[in-house]
Chain A
Amino acid sequence: MAKVVEESGIPVALITALTTLARDVGAPRIVQGVRIPHPCGNPTLPPDGDRAIRRRIVLMALKALQTLVIEPTSFVDPDVLM
């Protein structure tokens, strides 16, 4: 879906824990998510910590949207991964 929307001219950033899978299907901008049950945050942290992670992921996704890509490209914030 990401690929098709991108081809229509709207840039897409996909937040996912399964970056290998996203690359395989050709998603254009792949933003590293935390874990399968909670890709966009980390609820195992205290609320402020979780909020900080969520903010970092969204900021990374916004940065990805502003980046010109030609092939599937990964965007990883290492502090986000558990």
Chain B
Amino acid sequence: MRLEMGTFPVTEVAFGPRTRLDGSRLEIDRDELIALVLENGFFHRVRVDIVSPGESARIIHLLDTIEPRIKVEGPGGTFPGFLDAVETVGEGRTHRLAGVAVMESAELPWRGEKGLLMVREGIVDMTGPGAEYSPFWQTINIVLTLELKPNFSDEEYDRTIRLAGLKAAQYLAQTTTDQTAPRYRTYDLKISRPELPRVVYVHQIQSQGTFSQTFFYGKPLDDLIPTLVHPNELLDGALVSGNSAYQSLKTPTWLHCNNPVIEQLYDRHGRDWNFIGVILSRGHFYGIHEKERSANQVAKLARMLNADGAMVTWEGGGNSIIEAMLTIQALERAGIKTTAISYELGGVDGTGTPLLLYSVPEADALVSCGTYERPLRLPAVQRVVGGRTIRLDPAKGDHRLPAHQSLQLDTSLQMYCGTNQLGFGRRRGIDF
């Protein structure tokens, strides 16, 4: 499977009479985009806002974030299972707009204190101390603020918001269909030096029901038994996120398509190692047998691939670390050298215990991607996109704070992708 990815860097985004890409300037026909999103009949009103890096701006009520992409040649389509049929992707040619992100912002109805798996606040600050908590302060964000019509179910809101975001992303990428990209990169797992060590990537995602799900060719992964996938499928839109439970710890669709672990394993493929594939697994299982089964099956697949080494990442917090650690243990016991990226806890100043909720002796090579446990003071901002008030802890009630004012946060759990465990961003541990 050979995928050619054409990248169109975008440095400016503005509204204009026609949606088009002129060099690195993206112009958007705002009315046409709004009409496209309003088609499904679930939204009262749709706003489209352009929010740029460095602005005194805060984006709130964030759900998924998607990079504009379109399949231009070869089998399959764009975001298969949602926008196109479920033909296998990861081959042919795909175009992407780099440096931009389509963001879904919607205030979902508060249905009372509901426990763990509800939508929580997701915030991006485009400047100031909160900015570096999210990788998306650096992208030009095209924010769709969706005002929801009342009396629909969570599942209906979830589905229609997702389709709106994906359609908008494809719509913008259509500006590249007849153009040649400034640069192309080929992704191919062909082995040129068979003597190099074989490395597999274990990608543990979160999928536990509406608002905390991940989709593979449109199918929710709630019942996933570990399976083998080609990294090109993930680069080419096979994984879509529907996960808004804990916004600092999640992987949005944008990040699934730009997975830094996959990029870097490809960077040195055929030079320092052979990247042999991706094993997809799920965490947060509720039963101990399910957790152990997941770990054992990952190790079995890795052995069948004759892996020498494995790189493990996982999504979300809490008990999903148990699957991850059991997976690391099973891989190491199978003789496969394993390393992983993890966030750490450590309390207010990093010295608190525990550092990790669970660990195994075999997990002796971990890379820290930071912590969400430090307090954070966000300054007042001039512009808020997505709403007027934020709801910091919906499990405790429908208490709101004005979003434009300065905010004292006890933890950075609301900062969008702030502690994402793919390591995308600037936060890391520097002292041990």
Residues in chain A within 8 A of chain B (CB atoms):
17-21, 24, 32, 34-37, 81-82
Contacts and interface: CB of A to CB of B under 8 A. Distances in A.
B358 A17 contact: no
A63 B292 CA distance: 26
B417 interface: no
Contacts, number: 28
Contact of B287 (A21, A24, A35): A35
B5 interface: no
B289 A81 contact: yes
A82 B291 CA distance: 13
19 contacts: A17-B286, A18-B288, A18-B319, A18-B322, A19-B288, A20-B288, A20-B322, A20-B326, A20-B358, A24-B358, A32-B288, A35-B287, A36-B286, A36-B287, A36-B319, A37-B286, A81-B287, A81-B288, A81-B289
A69 B288 CA distance: 23
Contacts of A35: 286-287
A37 B115 CA distance: 10
Contact of B358 (A21, A36, A37, A81): A21
Contacts of B287: 17, 34-36, 81-82
Contacts of B292: 20
A16 B319 CA distance: 13
Nearest to B292: A20
Nearest to B287: A35
A36 B322 CA distance: 12
Interface in B252-306: 286-289, 291-292
Contacts of A34: 287
Contacts of A18: 288, 319, 322
Contacts of A20: 288, 291-292, 322, 326, 358
Contacts of B322: 18, 20-21
A54 B287 CA distance: 16
A35 B289 CA distance: 10
Nearest to A36: B286
Nearest to B115: A37
A54 B51 CA distance: 54
A19 B322 CA distance: 11
Nearest to A33: B288
Chain A CB count within 10 A is highest, among B287, B288, B291, B322, for: B288
Contacts of A17: 286-288
